[in-house]
Amino acid sequence: MQRQVEKNCEGPEMSLVCLTDFQARARERLSKSTWDFIDGGADDSFTRDDNIAAFKRIRLRPRFLKDVSKVDTRTTIQGKEISAPICIAPMGFHCLAWPDGEMSTARAAQAAGICYITSTYASCTLENIVTAAPSGLRWFQLYVQPDRQLTKQLIQRAESLGFKALVITVDVPIVGNRRHDIRNKLDLKMNLLLKDLQSPKERDSIPRLQMSAIDPSICWNDLSWFQSITQLPIILKGILTKEDAELAVKHNVHGIIVSNHGGRQLDEVAASIDALTEVVTAVQGKLEVYLDGGIRTGNDVLKALALGAKCVFVGRPILWGLACEGEHGVQEVLNILKKELHTSMTLTGCRSVAEITQDLVQFPRL
Binding residues for glyoxylate: 143, 178, 261, 264
Is residue 311 within 8 A of residue 87, CB to CB? The reply is yes
To which H or E segment does residue 168 belong?
strand 166-169
Q: DSSP for 27-45?
A: HHHS-HHHHHHHH--STT-
Pick out the residues of the known binding site for FMN: 90-92, 119, 141, 169, 237, 259, 292-296, 315-316
Concatenate the DSSP letters of all residues of 59-96 into one string.
EE----SS--SS-B--EEETTEEESSSEEE---S-GGG
Q: Which of 94, 261, 328, 342 is catalytic?
A: 261
Active-site residue, 342 included: no
Per-residue b or e along 343-366, where b marks 16 or more CB atoms closer than 10 Å to that residue's CB = ebbbbbbbbebebbeeebbeeeee
Give the count of beta carbons closer than 10 Å to the beta carbon of residue 99.
12
Neighbours of 305 (CB within 10 A): 27
Which residues, including other chains, have CB under 8 Å from residue 237's CB and lie 6 or more apart?
A: 90, 141, 167, 168, 169, 170, 171, 256, 257, 259, 292
Q: Residue 206, SS3?
A: coil
- Do β-strands 312-314 and 288-292 pair in parallel, antiparallel, or remain unpaired? parallel
CA separation for the pair 121, 119 (Å, rounded): 5
Enumerate the known binding-site residues: 90-92, 119, 141, 143, 169, 178, 237, 259, 261, 264, 292-296, 315-316
> What does the alpha-carbon distance between residue 29 and residue 18 come to, in Å, rounded to a whole number?
17
CA angle 338, 340, 344 (to 5 degrees): 115
> In degrees rounded to 5, what are phi and psi of residue 310?
-75, -35
Question: Active-site residues: which are they?
Answer: 261
